[in-house]
């Protein structure tokens, strides 16, 4: 992108072969739409990344820029090096739907009134690794087990889903996409 202020809007048509670099200026990268979409490139040098629309986006790569999840679901696998803000019905998923992965988050993390989706199966669970403090007060957790219905978890099975310097609060709600929980 150029040296000025840029506003890049992706409605799911573009999936470039290279990273998207906002360059100089104040740049906004917007993901929008009502369907499930994916974007498998680094998003760098954008000051703001907005997720709009009721659909879901699955991002893979490094992301620099403040993330605003205004509605719908944003799945991220990779690294975030900027704060995330959540609207009341917005959702952050780790590593894409129905897959186990890790999200590396630099800085302090505040869930607010947003929702965190964590996928799990018998082999493990998603993990969000935070270099700073995590505040989950008032947020929601949605557990998404994705395994064959005949599979079961061993009695007493536990998995770590969040790692941070310090943890504040507790989830206001914990729900599941399965009758297993």
- pLDDT at site 141: 95
Burial of 90 (C-beta count, 10 Å sphere; 0-12/13-18/19+):
buried
CA distance linking residue 56 with residue 92, whole number of Å = 10
- pLDDT at site 77: 86
Tell me: the pLDDT tens digits for 29-45? 888 888 888 877 778 78
- pLDDT at site 142: 94
- pLDDT at site 148: 60
Helix (H, G, I), strand (E, B) or coil at 50: strand
Average pLDDT over residues 136-145: 93
Q: Is-contact 168 133, C-beta < 8 A?
A: yes
Share of the chain above pLDDT 90, in %: 31
Taking CA atoms, 104 is separated from 14, 27, 64, 120, in Å, by: 25, 23, 12, 18
Q: Which residue has the higher pLDDT, 135 or 47?
A: 135
150 pLDDT exceeds 60?
no
Average pLDDT over residues 99-114: 91
Share of the chain above pLDDT 70, in %: 90
- pLDDT at site 180: 66
144 pLDDT exceeds 70?
yes
Lowest mean pLDDT among 12-16, 88-92, 137-141, 151-155: 12-16
């Amino acid at each position: 992108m150029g040296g000025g202020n840029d506003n890049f809007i992706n409605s799911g048509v573009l999936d470039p072969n290279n990273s998207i670099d906002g360059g100089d200026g104040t740049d906004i990268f917007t993901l929008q739409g009502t369907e499930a979409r994916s974007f498998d490139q680094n998003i760098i040098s954008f000051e703001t990344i907005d997720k709009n629309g009721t659909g879901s986006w699955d991002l893979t790569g490094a992301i620099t820029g403040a993330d605003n999840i205004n509605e719908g679901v944003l799945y991220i696998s990779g690294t975030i090096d900027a704060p995330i803000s959540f609207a009341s019905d917005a959702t952050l998923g780790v590593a894409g739907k129905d897959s186990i992965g890790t999200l590396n988050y630099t800085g302090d993390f505040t869930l607010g009134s947003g929702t965190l989706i964590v996928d799990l199966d018998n082999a493990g669970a998603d993990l969000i690794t935070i270099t700073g403090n995590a505040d989950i007060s008032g947020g929601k957790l949605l557990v998404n087990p994705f395994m064959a219905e005949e599979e079961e978890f061993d009695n007493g099975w536990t998995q770590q889903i969040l790692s941070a310097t310090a943890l504040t609060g507790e989830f206001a709600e914990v729900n599941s996409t399965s009758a297993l929980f």
